[in-house]
Structure 1
């Protein structure tokens, strides 16, 4: 296959299939219900806040900072694989057409979020600025062009520098993007000056690419890390067989299992606690879901919505950690010893009850300024216990 259009088409078809295979487990029925409640409650809170927002609120700077940062992070999606640095070498002269398609997909796939976020901010701009409807919607076009230039600039910079000092490149582009949006919102055409600066920067980098070899190693490493991040995210909702989790010591959490007495019947308890503390996938799953529940409880002032969200987070935490800790697909040394299998199940249940209690306390403390905050820990503990008992 020596046609780079066909190579990209095959890669893209496989990539979309892989993403859709796991995303159907992410956006399940109960997650969709939670999202509806979160969006509804967030929209209500936003509309109520707009009624009391001060006229001198720095909306332009807030929007410029948030959107500017989002459009700057434009990590290229190349879909390159490890063997490509060998098998695509004879076709290196044709890689330009391949990378053109890669940059186009990177642009369109990353454009939605900043655009939607700006559209959400339009009511705020109408409240605190004197921008007309035409001027506000012209900012959308400006953001699209800015994103296009950032995608090109990051790709060209990575191509030229092989990924070295990418943080410095991003800092420069973040500053230019923020100033561009803020200037366009306040002074109209003056924002185009920063757009020209970024365009010239991209043009200069593009000229430096001429006659340089393709940095296969950097783009392949980037692609592998990107897909691994997606698999880790999907692994919170379903099992990803080829995902390899990392292990960290976390000595500061040794207190969790140092209190376990040195007895035969506590063998599984020690192993389960240690597994949770040291395994990134398990530990960060609990941390992320707890943080999400805490943030929702902190900012949403509608008790019923808060209870639904924290209940969903408690259900997801308990269910996923139970499946993860009870799985025994690999060989463990404890299988060689005459320890009843039931003890592992008991140890997992004990750990999950402890984690549910800690989660309930943290979420309650984050919501202490909200009405009826004292019901939140009851909801978390009840849902966690029911999930623990009803799940297989």
Structure 2
């Protein structure tokens, strides 16, 4: 038992070190500035929107849906590794303390999400119901207790190998979570939360009894843990290089018009390579889509002209900054070096592609302003975006290439 406990301590320590290593890159000076501005800008838009609401707004169902989704998505962090299915399977009977610690660790890591979401929901709840903010702590206790229930249920259902059972359980838990939270926030019937709470307890007790004799599905647990770590590394890869991350390419046939075979000109070789890499890799194209959507929501919800322009420029910078590693994507492959092409075409092609990517993003910001019939804002956003892209690609990118010795 002592060796099992030592294994747990070792695995948790390794995970925390890995987490801290990449968090230093994620929350560096540039990104912290952008994050602070994004939170401030989003908070400003959110507070202005809340002031326009009254008691007729269905805040209870909206809050219940958001928090219900947050507590339903409750992965169990097991920190298991590939060799464990060989070496730890015979010790399954001694692993109870290990997996209890895994559930506690999962709760502690995920509870901050619930805390942040509930804190963000409280102004909306108070504005539409007239409730006092002093109710925050008992509401937090209820939501955290619901989170514990979901983690236990997730662990119990993991004793089933079939994905169908997992999906059914996910749907049932999501529905029960939303109904329970709605009954709490709507405060329509005093006995309704109690009744739903008893249903939750009965659901859990039934499955604990049903799965009592079932063994752990080690391969499933290890696959889920690997998938969870892969998602984290993909996120970290947006900010720094992750050496052991294997990128995924997607066909995206609908983008074929942008990937037509270029003219047989040496200048087009790297342009075709980098364009194909950007459009068909999850890490770069997905990054562009996510940042464009987030910034578009902020710009679309803002009423202040300068907030819109600054948001556009900050997210253009954030996008461009995180796309620079695309230039090193094929650095360790020998075949691009075999091209009978001048090395200068590599940087030139990358800067042309980056210019197009950022211009398209700036055009999206401009269109959002046009949709809101803000012609002056659209013109100012377009002009500022073009000026920024020219300066960024002409001055900042070459400096970064030189600084990091990118060939």
* Superposition TM-score tier, normalisation by shorter sequence: over 0.9
* 1:182 corresponds to 2:187: no
Note closer, same or farther for the CA distance 1:355–1:327 as it changes in structure 2 (3 Å cut). same
Aligned ranges 1:265-304 → 2 under 5 Å: 265-304=267-306
Helix, strand or coil at the partner of 1:304: helix
Structure 2, unmatched stretches of 5+, are 402-407
Distance 1:26 1:109 in 2: 18
Calculate the aligned-residue CA RMSD, in Å.
2.1
1-side partners of 2:24 and 2:191: how far apart? 44
Q: Hey, what's the Cα distance between the residues in 2 that align with 1:347 and 1:75?
A: 42
After TM superposition, the score normalised by the length of structure 2 is 0.90
Identify the residue that residue 386 of structure 2 maps to in structure 1.
381
Identify if the C-alpha distance between structure 1 residues 278 and 67 changes in structure 2 by more than 3 Å, giving closer, same or farther. Answer: same
Residues 295 and 366, structure 1, Cα contact 8 Å, conserved in 2: no
Aligned equivalents of 2:127, 2:287: Cα separation in 1: 39
Cα distance between partner residues in 1 of 2:286 and 2:40: 28
TM-score normalized with structure 1 length: 0.93
Which range moved further: 189-198 or 258-267? Answer: 258-267
Bigger Cα displacement from structure 2, 20-29 vs 115-124? 115-124
Counting matched residue pairs gives 392
Give 1:275 shift: 2.0
The Cα of 1:301 is off from its aligned counterpart by 2.2
1:116 to 1:146, Cα distance in 2 relative to 1, 3 A: same
The 10-residue stretch of structure 1 (226-235 or 358-367) with the greater mean CA deviation from structure 2:
358-367
Where does residue 256 of structure 1 map in the other structure? 258
2:17 maps to 17
The SS at the match of 1:283 is helix
> 2:87 & 2:164 partners in 1: Cα distance?
25
Structure 1 unmatched ranges of 5 or more: none
Query: What is the correspondence of 1:130-279 to structure 2 with a 5 Å cutoff?
Result: 130-131=130-131, 135=135, 137-161=137-161, 163-185=163-185, 186=187, 187-258=189-260, 260-279=262-281
Query: For 2:215 and 2:15, how far apart are their aligned partners in 1?
Result: 26
Structure 1 pair 208–181 and aligned structure 2 pair: CA distance change class (3 A): same
Shift of 1:164: 4.1
Distance 1:102 1:204 in 2: 22
1:45 is matched with which residue?
A: 45
- Classify the secondary structure of the residue corresponding to 1:329: coil
CA contact (8 A) 1:162 1:218 kept: no
Secondary structure of residue in 1 paired with 2:312: helix
* Separation in structure 1 between the aligned mates of residue 175 and residue 214 of structure 2, nearest angstrom: 28
Partner of 2:30: 30
